[in-house]
Amino acid sequence: MNRSLALTFTTLVVSSGLALAQTTQPGAAYNNADFKVTSTQAVYQSDLDLVVMSMKVSGQAGRTVPKPSGSMANAPVLAYVFPTTLQPQDVGFSPTEGIVALALTSHPDMDDTPLWDENNDGNFDNDGLVWHPHWVVLQEDKRVPGGLSVKAFRKDDKTVVLPKTAPGVPIYFDSPGYNVVTSGPTIRVAIPAYRIHNRTDFRFDAVTCYLQMYHPAHGDTASHHKAEDKPLLGVYAVYGVLSGKLSLPYSVTKK
């Protein structure tokens, strides 16, 4: 990862933590033990050809979920995030600058996994609250308190390639459908190795955070916003970074 971006992120983590001391800050109500990261690991299971990534917290992983806002305008998103050294091409995006991260998310106001019925009720459009994964590309963004957003692009940019499982919004954002399991203090996700170009040598970190959607009533929601606009999906509060400095020090072990 770019060193300047890492330093910027570290500064933003500190400032975000201070801001969360004020309960009026976005996401402050969710800052509890369920998002206090204590450890992480990624294990390549050769017999199944899977990379299983996990994050452990001091509370109960996945227990706290967002309260619906009733609108896409400021829809809340909670996330356990694994920033990685993977390249965008490894997960199906066209080449671009930024941090490739796997985010395990819950958000009751929208369903962005149209191919998957996570709660198995026969309705594919009502299960955004169920913890599920997204590949994203993160970039620095000073328009939001958390200092990062999911990278956007113009809708008419024909050079941008997204995975076939992407839900069709103009950001580097995919809904890969990997299995996510919560058990006590641990949340896990299982990634078929072929879905990441068989890359089992990447480094990663563990982050917990609060994001918000921004869905304007009109206009292009891509990267060329007016200065006063918000990103389509931005990080508003960072609860914790396991390494402390987003140094991505953890590596995949093999089993």
Tens digit of each residue's pLDDT (9 = 90 or more) over 56-93: 999 999 999 999 887 777 899 999 999 999 999 999 99
Angle at CA of residue 149, ends 71 and 239, nearest 5°: 85
What is the tens place of the pLDDT at every residue in 7-40? 555 555 545 554 554 456 889 999 999 999 999 9
- 143, 234 in Cβ contact below 8 A? yes
**Structure confidence at residue 5 (pLDDT):** 55
**Structure confidence at residue 112 (pLDDT):** 73
**Structure confidence at residue 57 (pLDDT):** 98
Q: How far apart are CA 13 and CA 175, in angstroms?
A: 26
**Structure confidence at residue 69 (pLDDT):** 83
- 180, 188 in Cβ contact below 8 A? yes
Kindly report which listed range (69-73, 148-152, 241-245) carries the lowest average pLDDT score: 69-73
Percent of the chain with pLDDT over 90: 69
Q: How sure is the predictor about 126, in pLDDT bands with cuts at 50, 70 and 90? A: low
- For residues 216, 176, 128 and 40, what is the CA-based torsion angle, rounded to 10 degrees? -110
**Structure confidence at residue 79 (pLDDT):** 98
**Structure confidence at residue 6 (pLDDT):** 53
Higher pLDDT, 120 or 182: 182
Mean pLDDT over 141-164 rounds to 95
Question: For the chain, what is the mean pLDDT?
Answer: 87
What is the tens place of the pLDDT at every residue in 202-214? 999 999 999 999 8
Residue 182 CB neighbour total at 10 angstroms: 15
Spatial neighbors of 242 by CB under 8 A, at least 6 apart, are 37, 38, 39, 40, 205, 206, 207, 250
